Amino acid sequence: DTAVSQTPKYLVTQMGNDKSIKCEQNLGHDTMYWYKQDSKKFLKIMFSYNNKELIINETVPNRFSPKSPDKAHLNLHINSLELGDSAVYFCASSHWEAKNTEAFFGQGTRLTVV
Amino acid sequence: GENVEQHPSTLSVQEGDSAVIKCTYSDSASNYFPWYKQELGKRPQLIIDIRSNVGEKKDQRIAVTLNKTAKHFSLHITETQPEDSAVYFCAARGPWGGRRALTFGSGTRLQVQP
């Protein structure tokens, strides 16, 4: 009964490859996010989706493309992977409205580009 | 956009002592301030949060204070225990219609020495 689940947990791939990370939440939240955590532990927002609509697209290379087939899923596709893409990627979800705004995180996907 | 600064970056205390972590934010419209704890290799998890209409909130050994005028908020952990050792992140979130993602501070690595 995991609240926010990501797959895979670990991903090792070569430069130039294309890969996807999947995220699903069963909390009934209407907003989902992708965060990137680099080697220095900085947590930075990449994308935010509310009701399947892209709300935030921070300064992220267009090699990164999120896709939300429905409110419970937000996948992240990365094209032409580069060494600098190595990081831990966290999916998160929350309610949009102010009443209950806690953001729940997935367990993270550690991406290593070699 | 919002900018959150967090200090100190590392903090070492003896078991039983108190620990204080401080954050400042830039956007006076921010109205929600959560604190997350991240253990090694794990996901960030909410430990306490405060909204802008409240000055202080306490939950057992953890308390958070908010000074809206000065735009800073702090986490206080009393009677620290070795299991409190982790990285702690403060965050801020605004009420803006299109910007609901959390902006995180850079993290504080807390080490509690037994």
pLDDT digits (tens, 9 = 90+) for B85-103: 999 999 998 776 555 688 9
Cβ neighbours of B99 in A, within 8 Å: 55-56
Tell whether the model's pLDDT for residue A2 goes beyond 80: no
Residues B72 and B39: their CA atoms lie apart, in Å, by: 25
Name every residue whose Cβ is closer than 8 Å to that of residue A7 and which is 6 or more positions away in sequence.
Answer: A21, A22, A109
- DSSP-derived 3-state class of residue B100: coil
From first to last of the 114 residues of chain B, give the pLDDT tens digit: 789 999 999 999 999 999 999 999 999 888 899 999 999 999 999 999 998 888 999 999 999 999 999 999 999 999 999 999 999 999 998 776 555 688 999 999 999 999
pLDDT of residue A99: 56
CB contact at 8 A, B68 and B15 = no
CA distance A72 to chain B (A): 17
pLDDT digits (tens, 9 = 90+) for A56-106: 777 789 999 999 999 899 999 999 999 999 999 999 999 877 555 789 999
Residue of B nearest to A53 (CA): B98
pLDDT of residue A113: 97
Cβ neighbours of A56 in B, within 8 Å: 98-99, 101
CB spacing of A105 vs B34 below 8 angstroms: no
Q: Exposed, middle or buried, A2 (CB in 10 Å: 0-12/13-18/19+)?
A: exposed
Question: What residue type is B94 in one-letter code?
Answer: G
Residue of A nearest to B34 (CA): A102
pLDDT of residue B97: 53
pLDDT digits (tens, 9 = 90+) for A13-58: 999 999 999 999 999 998 899 999 999 889 999 988 887 788 777 7
DSSP string, A63-85: TEEEEEEETTEEEEEE-S--GGG
CA B109 to chain centre: 12
Q: Where are the beta strands (DSSP E) in A28-72?
A: 31-37, 43-50, 53-57, 64-70
